[in-house]
């Protein structure tokens, strides 16, 4: 068994960014000014399965789209930290782990862009990213999913963790 597979067995909490991770990073603009994003149903299914198996799933994103919040609520994700400056994502992350007494070695974080680097570079976190994350993110990640953001990267990491733990 590889060192990475051993790390997979320790994970109890998944934390995901939204744009570029749960979505492909596209924001569709309507004439009304309304914006919408698209999520991949297989990622949704994996999140639901992780929650049913007792994993924590949280969102840390500078995005503050009401449609995303509604979708997360329908999926069962309760720990949602959205809005605020993108360079302050780490504060939401640190507040979450302090509030709930989480251990960083039991956390998988998936991000794709510069605002995620501060969290991804934390030594104890299992840092992951989609295949289409920026080069600087890929350079610091423990695991790079073969799937792009919004097209199965979330499903990939959840499935890998749950299989390593015999829960998939």
Q: Is 156 annotated as a binding residue?
A: no
Strand partners, 36: 28
What is the distance between the alpha carbons of residues 40 and 150, in angstroms, rounded to a whole number? 6
For every residue of 80-94, which 3-state class applies, written as one string? Answer: EEECCCHHHHHHHHH
17 is an annotated ligand-binding site residue: yes
Residue 143, beta-bridge partner list:
128
As given in the structure block, the two tokens for residue 135 are: 């080069």
Nearest to 158 by CA among 83, 75, 92: 75
142 is in an annotated binding site: no
Q: How far is CA 163 from the centre of its chain?
A: 18
Query: Annotated binding residues for substrate, as ranges?
Result: 19
Query: Annotated binding residues, as ranges?
Result: 17, 19, 112
Query: Annotated binding residues for Mg(2+), as ranges?
Result: 17, 112
């Amino acid at each position: 068994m590889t060192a990475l597979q051993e790390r997979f067995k320790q994970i109890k909490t998944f934390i995901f960014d939204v744009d570029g991770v749960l979505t492909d990073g596209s924001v569709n603009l309507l004439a009304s000014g309304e914006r919408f994003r698209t999520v991949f149903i297989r990622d949704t299914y994996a999140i639901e399965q992780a929650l049913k198996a007792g994993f924590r799933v949280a969102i840390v994103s500078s995005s503050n789209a009401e449609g995303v919040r509604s979708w997360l609520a329908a999926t069962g994700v309760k720990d949602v930290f959205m809005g605020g400056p993108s360079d302050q994502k780490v504060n939401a992350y640190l507040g979450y782990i302090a509030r709930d007494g989480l251990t960083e070695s039991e956390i998988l974080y998936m991000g794709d862009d510069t605002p995620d680097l501060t969290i991804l570079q934390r030594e104890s976190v299992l840092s992951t990213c989609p295949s289409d994350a920026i080069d600087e993110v890929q350079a610091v990640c423990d695991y790079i999913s073969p799937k792009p953001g919004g097209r199965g990267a979330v499903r990939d990491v959840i499935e890998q963790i749950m299989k390593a733990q015999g829960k998939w």
